[in-house]
Chains A and B, each alone.
Chain A
């Protein structure tokens, strides 16, 4: 499996299934086909595309996420399979029964890892002082992050990471578009891992927005945001101005193939996410934090 992303970016495409393939056609002309097992997410960003129910079923069988994008590549809906795991009943129960203190401990680890990675990115960018001050926050994170160090670190991080005057605003039309795109790709991959592990994506450890059906996905993707940022920052350092061309999109989507250091050698992010999801299942079942993240490797 390649864990590829398929994006439908042009209007008028018709998507169907032929044996083990997703077939994309424009009227009668077949434009291409991709093996279903190789797709980790199908992103629908064009205004108009038609797809068959058969396709939705076939994608669900592979626990592939189907994402509809609104403006600026912000995901408005994610379609995930109802049950991707034979043990899911048991797992969902242990997820529901997870105690508040355990959830707080889990959130603490997620925030720590995110802050640590943010510090790594800053020191990679050679922003010495800020990287130390951000990294130092990691140790101060308490259970459940009551001091909201996550937000404090993010504030310092964004102030220096991209360029002076940059503000992370999901609706802006500048570099923010690149961040939106790469986070959409990341979110899709995390969603797939969560469902693959038989967990309920709506039940987060920290994010508990009543309107967010993907709270757990948003929780688990936090530590990897800095890795995604590093891809965007690398792109920005190479060319100015950076636009969201097909070539740029390919580079952004490649984040899922970047290696992380695990206990036993290196592993690409798309596989590490499955390890993380299973380590969360273990944590729920053992009532102790066993999260495994993998170490980020920056160039």
Chain B
């Protein structure tokens, strides 16, 4: 069987941020940044951690630029991009139960 979605080509981008939310201005800035991530198709993994899967390194670069444009003035934002192969190694727990990390699929059926 021919491999169609290569685990070495597909990339995952994790955006982790720590933004001040003391004043209402800061809260607003943080909210705008979060919504921007959602508009780009990022899902929330945990509070302040968003992730998204991408077809290739080149596409990841494009997203990186789009995020950079909207990074708030204060606070820190860390962005990590890894291959699907590396992402596979993640061990996830919900409660005490092990769960599988989300899979990349070519076809979503509903």
Interface residues of A (CB under 8 A from B): 1-10, 13, 18-21, 24, 31-38, 234, 238, 246, 249-251, 253-258, 268, 299
Contact = CB atoms under 8 A, between A and B. Distances in A.
Interface in B20-49: 35, 38-43
A2 B104 contact: yes
A249 B110 contact: no
B109 interface: yes
Interface residues of B, number: 24
Contact of B59 (A1, A19, A21, A34): A1
B106 interface: yes
A20 B38 contact: yes
Given A10-B110, A234-B2, 6 more contacts: A2-B106, A20-B40, A20-B41, A20-B42, A37-B41, A299-B2
Contacts of B39: 19-20
Interface string B35-71: 1001111110000000011110001000000000000
Interface of B: 1-2, 4-5, 10, 35, 38-43, 52-55, 59, 104-110
B110 A32 contact: yes
Contacts, number: 82
Contacts of A257: 4-5, 106
A4 B110 contact: no
Given A2-B53, A35-B41, A250-B105, A24 B2 contact: no
Nearest to B110: A24
A234 B107 contact: no
A183 B77 CA distance: 44
Contact of A234 (B1, B52, B105, B106): B1
B38 to A, nearest CB: 4
Contacts of A33: 43
Contacts of A254: 4-5, 106-107
B37 to A, nearest CB: 9
Contacts of B52: 35
